[in-house]
Structures are given as structure tokens and as C-alpha cells.
Amino acid sequence: YCTKAVYSEVIKFNPNVARIIPVDDNLDFNGLKKLKMLIRENSYDLIIDAHTNLRTFYLRLFIGTHLLKFNKYSLRKFLLVDF
């Protein structure tokens, strides 16, 4: 489970989570590359992308495992709220 370091305590006692990867708030591109290498090295069975943003797109790119994306319907929400 990859999450911001401040939220790792919330997930800590979940019996369904085998490993927590805490990430700093100010993650730069080099940190993102290291995180991608760490994810690749562990060869997870499944990756679930709950954010679907540019950073997670980079992490998903060429990972080589089964992937599920969460569709947030950002455009639809934008149109409903702003128009």
C-alpha cells in the first residue's frame, strides 16, 4: 500500500495490507523514479490506481502487472459544478 507518510498510521493495522510504502509530501521526480523501481522490484500481483493523475500515470507506465484504475469522472464533476 503506497500512501503519504502522514496517512500510514491509519493503514498500519489493516490485516489485508502486507506492506506500506510511505511517501513524503514533497516527492520530486528522482523520488518518483525510486518509488517506481521499488514497485517494479517487488513485482506485485495487482496495482490499483485510486488517483489517476500524472504521477500515478508515470508509476503505472511499463510496470508489467495487472492494473485497475479508479475513474473519478473529473470532467463530469467539473461540468456539473461550474456550468
Structure confidence at residue 80 (pLDDT): 82
Query: Could you tell me the pTM of the whole model?
Result: 0.72
DSSP strands (E only) in 1-83: 2-4, 21-23, 46-49, 66-69
What is the C-alpha separation between 5 and 74, in angstroms, rounded? 26
CB atoms within 10 A of CB 22: 14
Structure confidence at residue 31 (pLDDT): 92
Over the chain (83 residues), the average pLDDT of each successive run of 10 is: 89 90 89 91 84 84 80 77 78
Q: Please answer whether residues 18 and 38 qualify as being in contact, where contact means their C-beta atoms are separated by less than 8 angstroms.
A: no
Structure confidence at residue 34 (pLDDT): 92
